[in-house]
Chains A and B, each alone.
Chain A
Amino acid sequence: MYMDRDVLIYALLLTMVMIALVLVGESRPDVYLSITILMYFIYTSINYSIRSRARLRILDAILLFVFLAIVTYRVLEVLRVI
C-alpha cells in the first residue's frame, strides 16, 4: 500500500518536471534524462521505503553510469574537446 503511494508520488513528480521542461522550451533529450536520474536518486534517498522493499543496486549503477556519461559529454563539449 505504501509502496503504491510512493511510486505514484514519484510518477507525479516526474510528470510535473517533464511538463515544466517542455514549457520552458527545453529540447535537449539528455537534459530530460539527467533530471529524471537526479530525481530518482533524490526521491529514493529521501523516501527510503522503495529501497527497503526492492533491490535497486543494479539500476543505481546503470543510471549513475548514464548520468556520468552525459555529464562527461557535456563537459567535453564545453571544453571544445569534442
Chain B
Amino acid sequence: MEYRYLVAGINIALISIIFIVFSLLSSNNVVLGISISTLVLGSLLLTIGITYTPPLRDLLRIYVSDADLFINKIFEDSGLVSNHRFKICLDRGLATFSNKNIDCRDITPGLGVVGDTIYISIPIKSLITRTTSELVPESRTELLDYLREVLVGRYGVCKDIIVEEGDDEISVELISITREAKSLMNTPINSIRIAIPSIISRFLGRSIEVVHEEFVRGNYIVRVRRV
C-alpha cells in the first residue's frame, strides 16, 4: 500500500464528487463532464495506492524462492529435511537445525558435525537486529504487543497473533497468514519459519528451541521452549 497515492486519490475523488453534485444542481454539463473525468483520475490513484507493490520487493521475492530451493537441497542431502531439531542460538546469532540436541557453543555458521550430530546453522544477526531496532524489548512491552507490532503492523505476515505463555513453553499462533507470507512457505525450510522464532528469541533475550509447528486452516502455530 502506498499512502501518498491513497491520500491523493481520496482527495481528488472527494473534490470531484463535490463538483459533480454542484454541476448537477446548477445543470452545468461541462463541469459535470470534467468532474467525472477527474473522478476517473482519483479512482486510478486510489487503486494504485491500495494495490501498489514496490519494484525491488519482486526481485527479492524471486531471489528468496531460489535461495530457499538451494537451502532445502542442502538439507535434503544432509538428511535433515524431515527429521531435525530447530534451535535459535541468540548469542551466536544462528538458527540451527540438527539431528540431535546440540550445545549452541559448539556451533559455527554453515554445515558441520559435532561428535555424531550433524547440524546446519544459518546466520540470523541482521534479522534479529533490524526487526527490533525501533522496538526494544526492555521497554516493558508484552510479547503479544511486540509480535503484533512487528509481524502484523510492520511486516504484514498475518492478521493477528495469539500468545499462550506457560512455565517452560510459549505457544504463538499467527492468525490468517497473508498470501504473500504463505507464498514464502512452500518449502520445508523457509524464511518465514526461521524469522518467527528468531524474532521471539530476540524479545525473550535468550536462546529457544522450537518444539512444535503446524499449519491449521491458514493459521501457523509455533511452540517454543526456553533453553
Interface residues of A (CB under 8 A from B): 3, 7, 10-11, 14, 18, 21-22, 26-33, 35-37, 40, 50, 52-56, 58-59, 62-63
Contacts and interface: CB of A to CB of B under 8 A. Distances in A.
Contact of A40 (B29, B44, B55): B44
Contact of B47 (A10, A21, A36, A54): A54
Contacts of B55: 52-53
A26 to B, nearest CB: 7
Nearest to A37: B40
| Interface of A: prevailing SS | helix
Given A36-B37, A56-B51, 5 more contacts: A29-B29, A37-B40, A40-B44, A53-B48, A53-B54
A18 B39 CA distance: 13
B40 A29 contact: no
A36 B40 contact: yes
Contacts, number: 68
A37 B53 CA distance: 24
B52 interface: yes
Contacts of B40: 33, 36-37, 40, 63
Contact of A7 (B29, B30, B48, B51): B48
A10 B34 CA distance: 15
A59 to B, nearest CB: 5
B52 A33 contact: no
B51 A55 contact: yes
B33 A58 contact: no
Contacts of A30: 33
B61 to A, nearest CB: 14
Given A10-B41, A37-B40, A59-B43, A21 B33 contact: yes
A3 B33 contact: no
B32 interface: yes
Residue of B37, B41, B55 most packed against chain A (CB within 10 A): B37
Interface in B32-76: 32-34, 36-37, 40-41, 43-45, 47-48, 51-55
A-B pairs, 9 with minimum CB distance: A32-B33, A29-B33, A36-B37, A55-B51, A54-B48, A29-B32, A27-B29, A54-B51, A59-B47
A29 B52 contact: no
Contacts of B41: 10-11, 14, 36
Contacts of A37: 40
Nearest to B47: A59
Contacts of A36: 36-37, 40-41
Nearest to B12: A11
A14 B37 contact: yes
